[in-house]
Amino acid sequence: MEQNIKLNALTISEKNVRKVSAADVEDQQLIASIGSQGLLQNLIVVKSKKRGKFEVVGGGRRLAALQHLAENGDIAKDYAVRCVVKDQTDATEASMAENLKAAMHDADWFSAYMQLNEQGMSAEDIAKKFGHSVTDVRKLLKLGGVAPVILQAFRNRELDKKEVMAFTVSDDQEKQAAVFAEMKEGYGFSAWEIRSRLLPENVRSTEPMAVFVGLEAYEQAGGSVASDLFQEVTYLNDPELLKSLAEAKIERLVAEKKVEGWKWVEYTFGGFWSSPFASMRRVEPEIEVDLPEALSARLAEIDARLNVLNEKPMPEWTEEEDEEHDRLTDEERDLQEQKENSRVFSVGQKAEAGVLILIGREGEPEYREGIVKPEDGEKGSEGEDEQGAVDVPKKPDESAALLSDLSAYSLQALQADLMDSPELCFDLSVFNMALQRVAQSFLRPCDISVQWAEFSPKDILETKAAEKIQKTRDGLNLVWMNEETEADMFRAFQSLTMPDKLAIHAFCVAQSLRSSSSVIAELVKEQINFDLSALWQPTKENYFKRVKREKLLDILVELKGTDLAAGMANAKKRDLAELLDGLEESKGWLPPQMRPEAVEG
């Protein structure tokens, strides 16, 4: 039987099975909803032993919300509440049935908020009515605005919530649906790849070049942005403008550095180890500047004290002496670094060498000084004919930027294949740590850092190697990362099987490989039977259209013989690039400098 009962005649019943209230945020949302919409669902009550009173067995949270509104004066204390009156014998069963209602799917919530917005309610209005923050409402509206096919896939559990969030970086539903369809036919979904496909050219505000230029400078120059509400990241929509601003800023740094008298000053937006400069000789500053007396005196003090400590066997050190030793050792290393940095390049060194400026991981400019180009390092009669004339080096067929990209492709592919060899990765990491640390005279637990190689090519995330790396990462057992504290994470990590640990170790070590052309890299290639052509192929975009027309004709001769090349002698570079891109013979072909014999020779 349903009837209206005054609010001040209602109390909570012991038969109400929900003994624990919902979270405060949910309570606030319920209060806001009832305050704006009224009570949309009746309470379930039984008659109390107290005359004129009723006990609520179903709807305890709604009763608490009504009482809160009454206490604040938002509704009357005798507010009429719609109730269904049950017998005492039915009370517990009714309370359980009340709490067995299926929760509304998140996708339906997203759509409902979107409908309210389309009906004219602002994010602020919705927030006020339903007890959310405005920021949360904007996020819900973003989720409600994704392509219908994505919401349906979320309902069908084809996508999780993080993946739906990733689709919101673009408001273009057609583009969202197209990316969804492509990935559904591929290797599945990942939030990282969804964002990459929706914003292939956009640059994250946290990337080094964006930090170097600065978001304010970019926007002042007319650059537009897109926001990711769920990652608190801004995407810069105009990479060409960003690059031009970065070039203008770094050119100013080049001009400042040239004043110092260096033979050359250049810059790169790629990583140092993936650039041609990494293999060039470097000179160390040869002039030692007099150190401040205070610094020299402090070094002497530290050395004397460490000698005293080291005369005593380490097991006999007190805790205070142990801490003092660590502190003094740290200070000594810092002061020695200052001493090394006090050396300067001579005028003669600067006349022979140059400086490479690049952007560091945090967006700050970095200077690699003292680099000697091969042609500048050759002295004496080499390169001179009998009359003393110097041979002009042949200009390479590929630009420095292309050579840098080819080096990056090669390194990425080697990293991807190296991940399949956990034992080799273990040998590499221990060998590397031993080279750095075994000779040290003091103990420091776990002073290890992993720096992953930086890549500059625009399509570096679209290669087969990138796909393999992502697939490898997706296959790692990372359940331990779900723990809340560092200690719990470590304990969970320790419980992994050894194969799981070795797989994680291999993934990290492989991506820290710094060069694909070093002596060690060549040994690695030999041991894993590395085949670069299986993971990278030259295409029109990444290679053919970036070399000279004459070079394309040479490649055509190599692949198809002189007859076809002769017939294409007058063809445009664009047509030659298209032709080579489609040739069956191009599959498996590599530029000369990427072939194994290029290193062996």
pLDDT tens track for 213-270 = 999 999 999 988 877 767 667 888 888 899 999 999 999 999 999 988 899 999 998 7
- pLDDT tens string 515-537: 777 778 888 888 888 888 888 88
Does 284 share its domain with 364? yes
Q: What is the pLDDT of residue 433?
A: 63
Last residue of a domain, one of 98, 118, 153: 98
Does 507 share its domain with 560? no
Q: What is the pLDDT of residue 384?
A: 39
> Residues with Cβ < 8 Å from 26, sequence gap 6 or more?
none
Last residue of a domain, one of 485, 515, 534: 534
Q: What is d(CA 60, CA 65) in angstroms, rounded to the nearest whole number? A: 9
> Does 239 reside within a domain?
no
Q: Average pLDDT for residues 363-373, to the nearest whole number?
A: 92
> Does 299 reside within a domain?
yes
Q: What is d(CA 80, CA 186) in angstroms, rounded to the nearest whole number? A: 58
What is the pLDDT of the chain when averaged over all its residues?
79
DSSP lists the bridge partners of residue 390 as 384
Q: Considering only 306-320, 390-404, 412-426, which range has the smallest mean pLDDT?
A: 390-404
Instruction: Give the H or E element holding residue 478.
Output: none
- The CATH number covering residue 20 comes to 3.90.1530.10
Does 271 share its domain with 346? yes
Q: What is d(CA 67, CA 10) in angstroms, rounded to the nearest whole number? A: 10
Does 367 share its domain with 415? no
pLDDT: which is higher, 429 or 522: 522
**Band of pLDDT at residue 354, cut at 50, 70 and 90:** very high
* pLDDT at residue 391 is higher than 60: no
Q: What is the pLDDT of residue 445?
A: 30
> Does 206 reside within a domain?
no
> Does 434 reside within a domain?
yes
**Band of pLDDT at residue 132, cut at 50, 70 and 90:** confident
* pLDDT at residue 323 is higher than 70: yes
Q: Residue 4: how many CA atoms within 13 Å on its side-chain side?
A: 4
> Residues with Cβ < 8 Å from 23, sequence gap 6 or more?
none
User: Which tokens is 375 given?
Assistant: 């042609």
Q: What is the pLDDT of residue 251?
A: 94
Cα→Cα distances 555→572, 573, 590, Å: 15, 13, 10
Q: What is the pLDDT of residue 389?
A: 33
Domain enclosing residue 287, as ranges? 246-377
Best-predicted range by mean pLDDT (120-129, 322-331, 464-473): 464-473
Pairing of strands 233-236, 281-282: unpaired
Best-predicted range by mean pLDDT (87-101, 208-222, 478-492): 208-222
Q: How far is CA 180 from the centre of its chain?
A: 21
Does 349 share its domain with 435? no
Q: What is the pLDDT of residue 561?
A: 83
Does 314 share its domain with 409? no
Total structural domains in the chain?
4
Q: How far is CA 534 from the centre of its chain?
A: 26
Does 478 share its domain with 551? no
Last residue of a domain, one of 534, 557, 587: 534
> Does 519 reside within a domain?
yes
> Does 192 reside within a domain?
no
User: Burial of 313 by CB count in 10 Å (0-12 exposed, 13-18 middle, 19+ buried)?
Assistant: exposed
Does 456 share its domain with 550? no
* pLDDT at residue 159 is higher than 80: yes
Does 414 share its domain with 477? yes
Q: Considering only 13-27, 224-238, 548-562, which range has the smallest mean pLDDT?
A: 13-27
User: Burial of 380 by CB count in 10 Å (0-12 exposed, 13-18 middle, 19+ buried)?
Assistant: exposed
Q: Average pLDDT for residues 188-211, to the nearest whole number?
A: 84
Cα→Cα distances 17→56, 91, 246, 451, 522, Å: 11, 10, 64, 55, 69
> Does 314 reside within a domain?
yes
Q: What percent of the chain has pLDDT over 70?
A: 83
Q: Average pLDDT for residues 294-318, to the nearest whole number?
A: 82
Phi, psi of 134 (to 5 degrees): -60, -40
**Band of pLDDT at residue 187, cut at 50, 70 and 90:** low
Q: What is the pLDDT of residue 396?
A: 52
Q: Average pLDDT for residues 419-439, to the nearest whole number?
A: 69
Using the Cα atoms of residue 169, residue 172, residue 173 and residue 175 in order, give the sign of their dihedral.
negative
Does 250 share its domain with 303? yes
Does 513 share its domain with 575? no
> Does 79 reside within a domain?
yes
Q: What is d(CA 289, CA 344) in angstroms, rounded to the nearest whole number? A: 7
How many H-runs (helices) and E-runs (strands) does the chain carry?
27, 14
| Closest to 107 measured CA to CA, from 150, 162, 61 | 150
Q: What is d(CA 154, CA 172) in angstroms, rounded to the nearest whole number? A: 18
Does 529 share its domain with 553? no
